[in-house]
Structure 1
Amino acid sequence: MSTTTSTTTSTTGPALAAEGLPDVTGVLGGGRMGSGIAHALLLAGTRVLVAESSAERADLARAAVEKAVRASAERGADLDVDAVLARLEVGIGPGSLRPAGLVVEAVPEDPALKADVLAGLDAALGPGAVLASNTSSLSIGELSTVLSADRPFLGLHFFNPVPASTLVEVVVGPGTPPGLVDRARGWVEQMGKTAVVVRDSPGFASSRLGVALGLEAVRMVAEGVASPEDIDAAMTLGYKHPVGPLRLTDIVGLDVRLGIAEHLERTLGPRFAPPELLREKVSRGELGRKSGQGFYTW
């Protein structure tokens, strides 16, 4: 299916539904996380607009979302694949998202990139449209400084892989409007997931705890305490974690985990200093599942 760019040019801004998700939602960034978020929004019943930076990337985003929807049907989800995908539109640039009442920014965890993208979305979207950042650790308050004063903004931290994960962190920034948190809880529930509400703080709840465990597991590998497989087995069998910390690091991406750890080290102190082994593996391009090699061979 070819990529299409939305041509809607409403100047009045989208009307938000009193309850539930807006009829039209958007995602900027169609990579692994963005396509997963689009999949969740589609299955929740909304018309979904996905924006990318080029036609080539837009085609890749469309293919990823279509694959995720078809996989849901194959796993037994009760849905009409063709009808669901008919509600998907993929365009280029933030202007293609203007009809949306909620837009989730899902670009890589780079503060400057996110700030630039959010500023562009703020200028492109209609009055009252809600902006959300899918950040795993960056300050919602700091990101909000590039937005107009009346732009509703919060964090919606989805987890990888989005279709299989049932958790979303709702991150409340200093300027998040009263009432938006309850609305966001409802949106998350409509997507079939569970919301946890956290105050804007470095790493929020999930990344802060998850990275602490993951970094210690990397240190144990470097010290020769045990193999990655045995360290992971200790946590999956002994503590009933669904996946071990080193396999999870591979799934998330060693480069992503390194970036989060560096941010937490700057904001929370040296207890989050990344182990040298993690830096070495990233410098060698051993990024985990996406590169084929991390602590495991994929």
Structure 2
Amino acid sequence: MREVKRIGVVGTGVMGQGIAYQAAVSGFETWIYDARPEALEKALEQIAALVKRQKEKGFLRDEPGDVLGRLRTARSLGELSECDFVIEAVTEDLAVKHSVFRELDGVCAPDVVLATNTSAKSITEIAAAAAMPERVVGMHFFNPVHRMELVEVVRGLESAEWAVEQTEGVGRSMGKETIRVNERPGFATSRISAMVGNEAFYMLMEGVSSAEEIDKAIKLGLHFPMGPFELGDLVGWDTRLHVLEYLHQTLGEKFRPCPLLVQYVRAGRLGKKVGRGVYEYDEEGRRIPGSASGR
């Protein structure tokens, strides 16, 4: 089995940034790629800011310069050809994922695992774009990556045992606990998380309580680390809606997206990344006190 020293991360949104940070902190030479050069530059700034914060809080043993020195930027997917393991973290759009996997399949060595960080899509369907679907495995990280302990390792129909084992090993080397999951819509966690977030929106729509009070209830009453609205604002409500639509299509009516959630996405209230979701945020990404929507 190939020794993994270099990890490639495709996509530099919230999840891609988190995965790249975790890989670099864990000692891997980490190559990041995004089709949009401006997104790549922003990702480097965000990762550097996170490294600084984590060092100031005492959570980082290495010097910031050493961690950031492990980061490399790729200007094309072809530059990831020397990576020993690649993690895709692009938008939850099957056509986009297929394009990425077709190209990666053509440039990466046959014994390189191509992992997808999809939170709900079919691993088998994503792998169908690759000439070697046996090396495609789900590797589902959770947001925020540097705080969440779990990685779901998801086996698709064609995923080979060696690829699953290597994905588990990389996850552990990145400081995470892993569980194996056989492919089903939403895996072991996304279907629960999506249902909680969707139900929270129904509660907000029905006037059960305010967004802040619902978040407080879930954190203090159920010991969730974040409230459903806090988490949705962080992940992005467009992403949450895509997952719900897929689960509704594959698993039925219990996952029908709440009409209010759909309205938020249509209004462009996508969350922290645009400065406004259920809560509002300043230019530094800090939540503005008292900014929660009443509905």
Taking structure 2 as the reference length, the TM-score comes to 0.90
Asked if 1:225 corresponds to 2:211, the answer is: no
Any stretches of 5+ residues in structure 2 without a counterpart? 282-295
Per-residue CA shift, 1:270-290, capped at 9, x if unaligned?
A: 110101101111111111222
Distance in 2 (CA, whole Å) between partners of 1:160 and 1:268 is 24
Give the secondary-structure state (helix, strand or coil) at the position aligned to 1:49. Answer: strand
Mapping 1:98-113, distance limit 5 Å? 98-113=81-96
CA deviations over 1:113-148 (Å, ceiling 9, x no partner): 111111111112122111000100000001110101
1:38 aligns to 2:24 (yes or no): no
Post-superposition offset of 1:89: 1.0
Does residue 126 (structure 1) correspond to residue 109 (structure 2)? The answer is yes
Alpha-carbon RMSD across the aligned residues, in angstroms, is 1.6
* 1:71 matches 2:57: no
**Change in CA separation of 1:189 and 1:116 when aligned onto 2, cut-off 3 Å:** same
In the alignment, does 2:219 pair up with 1:236?
Answer: yes
After superposition, what is the alpha-carbon deviation per residue over 1:178-198, rounded to whole angstroms, capped at 9, x for unaligned?
Answer: 133233222212111111221
Structure 1 pair 256/142, CA: closer, same or farther in 2 (3 Å)?
Answer: same
1:247 aligned to which of 195, 211, 230: 230
Measure, in 2, the Cα distance between the counterparts of 1:168 and 1:259: 21
CA contact (8 A) 1:127 1:151 kept: no
Q: Does 1:172 align with 2:155?
A: yes
CA distance in 2, matches of 1:162, 1:225: 31
Does the CA contact (< 8 Å) of 2:30 and 2:70 recur in 1? yes
Distance 1:39 1:213 in 2: 28
Q: Equivalent residue of 1:146, what SS?
A: coil
Q: Which moved more, 1:132-141 or 1:144-153?
A: 144-153
TM superposition shift of 1:62: 2.3
The equivalent residue for 2:2 is: 16
SS in 1 for 2:272: coil
Task: Give TM-score, length-normalised by structure 1.
Answer: 0.89
Matches for 1:76-87 after TM superposition, within 5 Å: 76=58, 77-87=60-70
Aligned pairs (5 A) from 1:1-298 = 16-17=2-3, 22-76=4-58, 77-149=60-132, 152-298=135-281
- In structure 1, runs of 5+ residues without a counterpart are 1-14
Q: How many residues get paired?
A: 280
